[in-house]
Chains A and B, each alone.
Chain A
Amino acid sequence: MKITDAAVWPYPAGDSSVRRLALEARELGFDSIVAIDTPPSTYEGMEILSGILVREGGMKEVMSRVKRAKGTHAVISVQAGDAGFNRAVVGLRGVHILRGIHAADKNGFDHVTAKMAADNRVAIDIDISALIAARGIARQRALQRYRDVMVLENRFAFPLTVSSNARSVLDLRATREISGLLTLLDMDLPVIERALNGVDVVTTPVPSPVRVIP
Chain B
Amino acid sequence: MTVRPPTLRDRRRYLLVRVDPTGTPVDQKELYYAISDSVTSLFGDVVAAIMVQAVICAEGDRHIVIRCRRGTERELATALSTITACRDTRIALRIIAASGTIESLRERLRQKTSGNAAADGTAETTPAEDVTGDGAPVSPVPPGPAHGDLTFGGKEYLVSNCDGQKVDVIEKGFKNTHRLFLTRSDLEEP
Number of residues on chain B facing chain A (CB within 8 A) = 27
A contact residues around B126 at 8 Å (CB): none
B contact residues around A44 at 8 Å (CB): 165
In the complex where A170-B84, A174-B94, A174-B95 touch, is A16 in contact with B74 (Cβ < 8 A)?
no
Asked if B180 and A170 make an inter-chain contact with CB atoms under 8 angstroms apart, the answer reads no
**Mask: chain B, 156-190; 1 = CB below 8 Å from A; 0 = not:** 00000000011000000000001111110110000
B contact residues around A23 at 8 Å (CB): 165-166, 183
Number of residues on chain A facing chain B (CB within 8 A) = 31
Q: Kindly count the residue-residue contacts between A and B in the assembled complex, taking CB atoms under 8 Å apart.
A: 77
A contact residues around B78 at 8 Å (CB): 177, 180-181, 183-184
Distance A173 CA – B94 CA, assembled complex (angstroms): 8
Asked if A17 and B84 make an inter-chain contact with CB atoms under 8 angstroms apart, the answer reads no
Asked if B81 and A19 make an inter-chain contact with CB atoms under 8 angstroms apart, the answer reads no
A12 within 8 A of B: yes
CB distance from B174 to the nearest CB of A (A): 19
Distance A183 CA – B77 CA, assembled complex (angstroms): 12
B132 within 8 A of A: no
Q: Which of A47-55, A108-116, A131-139 contacts B (4 or more CB under 8 A)?
A: A131-139
A contact residues around B21 at 8 Å (CB): 169-170
Binding site for B on A (CB under 8 A): 11-12, 15-17, 19-20, 23-24, 28, 43-44, 131-133, 135-136, 139, 168-174, 176-177, 180-181, 183-184
